[in-house]
Amino acid sequence: MNNQPNIAILILAAGNSSRMGEPKQLLPWKNTFLLNHAINTAVLLDNSKTFVVLGANYERIQSKIQRDDISIIYNANWELGLGSSIAFSVRSIMTKEHNFDGILIMLSDQPLIDFNYLKMLSSSFKPGINQIMASNYGPNASGEKLGVPALFDTCYFEELSELNQDKGAKKVISRHIENVSNLNANYLISDIDTMEDYERLYSSNH
C-alpha cells in the first residue's frame, strides 16, 4: 500500500533575473541548465505532478524545456512579483482534476536542493492536519529563517491563491507558524542573485 501523499510541485521560474543580465533559469548546471535541473529533481518524487510557472522570457525558456511529463503555466503578470506567480499558479492547479494532498513550492535557482531533500520533506508531511513543512535556512537575528522549498496542506491553497505583489510563500509560513514543521536546509540554500553568486556556486560544484 502506497501511503505517500499526492503532491503538486510548483517550480517558480517567472522572474526576469534583472541583476544577472540574462535569464538565470537557463544558466548551465551539471549537464543541463538551472531550471531543467530543478525539473529533473522534482519529477523523481513519487505521487507527484510537476508544474512550472514562467513569465519573463517565456518563449525562449519554454522552447528549452523538452519534456511532456510536466505542465507549464504562463503568468502574463509576472512583473507583479513572486506572490503574483504563486497565486496565479495555485489558482490554475486548483482547477485541475487532481486530488492533491498538498503543494510543494520550490525555486529554479536552488540547485543544491536534491531529490533526497524533497523526499524528506514529503515523507515528513502528514496530510489533513493543516501542516506546513518548511525549509530552515538557519538562525538569524530574529530567530529561525524559514522558507522554500515548503510543502503546504490543501487547506492553504485558497490563501496561497490570494497572494499578491512580491510577498511569497514566506508570508503564509509566518502567519501560521504554529502549524509549521521544518527541516534543516542551511547547507543546501545558496542565493543566486548576481553573476558572481552563480560563478562561485558553479565552480564549487563542478
Q: Where are the domains of the chain?
A: 7-204
Question: Can you give the three-state secondary structure of 16-66, one letter per residue?
Answer: CCCCCCCCHHHCEECCEEHHHHHHHHHCCCCCEEEEEEEECEHHHHHCCCC
pTM (2 d.p.): 0.94
Q: 46: how many CB neighbours lie within 10 A of its CB? A: 11
Q: Which three cell numbers stand for residue 11?
A: 517550480
In this predicted structure, what is the pLDDT of residue 134?
Answer: 96
Q: How far apart are CA 13 and CA 166, in angstroms?
A: 14
In this predicted structure, what is the pLDDT of residue 142?
Answer: 54
Contact 47, 85 (CB under 8 A): no
pLDDT digits (tens, 9 = 90+) for 181-190: 999 998 898 8
Instruction: Please determine, for residue 143, whether its predicted confidence score (pLDDT) is greater than 70.
Output: no
Query: What letter represents residue 21's amino acid?
Result: G
pLDDT digits (tens, 9 = 90+) for 71-93: 999 999 999 999 999 999 999 99
For the domain 7-204, what is the CATH code? 3.90.550.10
In this predicted structure, what is the pLDDT of residue 70?
Answer: 96
Instruction: Please determine, for residue 1, whether its predicted confidence score (pLDDT) is greater than 50.
Output: no
- Look at 97-111, 114-128, 135-149, 152-166 and tell me which has the smallest mean pLDDT: 135-149
Q: Which three cell numbers stand for residue 98?
A: 487532481
Instruction: Please determine, for residue 97, whether its predicted confidence score (pLDDT) is greater than 80.
Output: no
Residue of 17, 14, 67, 19 whose CA lies nearest to 43: 67
Residue of 99, 103, 118, 95 whose CA lies nearest to 37: 118
Classify residue 177 by its DSSP letter. Answer: G
- H-run or E-run covering 133: strand 132-140
Sign of the dihedral through C-alpha 43, 138, 165, 153: positive
Q: How far apart are CA 72 and CA 205, in angstroms?
A: 28
